[in-house]
Amino acid sequence: MNDTPRSPKLRPWHLDRDAVVYIRQSTPQQVVDHQESTARQYALADRAEELGWTRGRVSVIDDDLGRSGQSVEGRPGFQRLLAEVALDRVGLILGLEMSRLARSCKDWHQLLELCARFHTLLADADGLYDPTDHNDRLLLGLQSSTR
């Protein structure tokens, strides 16, 4: 990642909440054929620890392995992620790449709005994002339009 563990985006209140690793692959066949991708996604829990979370504060949502990201329908993991953010329990969401969290612009922007409202950071292999920051919000928005 480009950001160091001491990123000014990371505040004490983020660490008081959970870090959530969201894992998804689009089809059951991808889960079988691309196990290295699944392993890389699970390894994001280590990244949360590098950023300052204790292992006990890192949770993994992998209910959506083998499910398309085209809609929130049929994705209990994504629905749970939204609920946890809305309950102000999440300080950081990690994904292999942010654009993979939701393939629907509507679902993606709903997640971004919730993250901004509850000051939840997002992280992927390219960086650490604060959806309340204008530049990060612009970058995250552009990622959703390039799918």
Residues designated as active site: 26
What are the structure tokens assigned to 49, written together?
A: 């620890």
CA–CA separation, 133 and 99 (whole Å): 18
Q: How many CB atoms lie within 10 A of CB 67?
A: 20
Q: Are 16 and 88 in contact (CB under 8 A)?
A: no
Q: Is 94 within 8 Å of 47 (Cβ atoms)?
A: yes
The side-by-side arrangement of strands in the sheet containing 58-65 is 58-65, 18-25, 90-94, 121-124, 127-129
